[in-house]
Structure 1
Amino acid sequence: MLAQTTVSVLIQGPTHRIALKSIGKDGRQAGDLPTIWGADGFVGYTDPAAAVAEVEEGIYQVNTSWIDAAGDGQELRHTVIPEVKVTRDMTVTLDARDTVPVEIRTPRPAEQRGILSYQTYRERSGAGG
């Protein structure tokens, strides 16, 4: 009798711990979990309580948002670091104090209605992602 077995091997590159830290506009650490995006999409946290993920070496995008009170209602602060090159264990800080106002002008008077949203886009090695 002849027996056959299929063997599969998954090769993974070196991995490193990336800790994310968010600083609010008041200069204090915020308790959010920034989003980490890799070549294959969203990256989950291995230790959410410490905001730490273990990732394969490579380039990642990290981002987070805060909604703060403003004189005329609320303001959204959004921080994106489009390219975080992970080659070692590291800490990445997203700081709301680094945000700058974005003013939207329309040809006629306008009023915001509905949901505020945003999009980000990055290009890696000639491919969108």
Structure 2
Amino acid sequence: MSKETMKDDLKLGLEATATVDYLKVTRPFFLPFLGVTKIEKRLPLSLVIDIIIEQGYVTLDRGQPVEEILQDEGRVQYIKDSLYYTLQAMRNGAVVRGFLIWSYIDSFEWEGDYANRLGLNYANHTSSDLQMVSRLP
């Protein structure tokens, strides 16, 4: 079950339902923070360069069928929202030079082993050939 994440009365979004405590799915709350250096140091926004790293959406593998795992509307919407809000920040003057999505494939995470699914592509870690299947349409 997901619950709303709040910080200083700012609604950040929904927490991820996962085994990794430090990962939170917070529909892009970073928009207000793009170019924050401009405010703190009184620099023109065009001089502030942001690189957005490790944007990701985690789901928990509970042994459900692959077909169900591939129905990943939450991940698709999260990425769309992230790109939309990044574009809005750029239109408002933020200079964004990089945007990295974590991760290309489901990978090993120190907390949760392979149960925490972060990849754009599903990796079947129980098969000998580690078959990968795209989650995105």
Normalised-by-shorter TM-score class: under 0.3
Provide TM-score, normalisation by structure 1. 0.24
Structure with the larger strand share: 1
Q: Max radius of gyration: which structure? A: 1
Structure with the larger helix share: 2
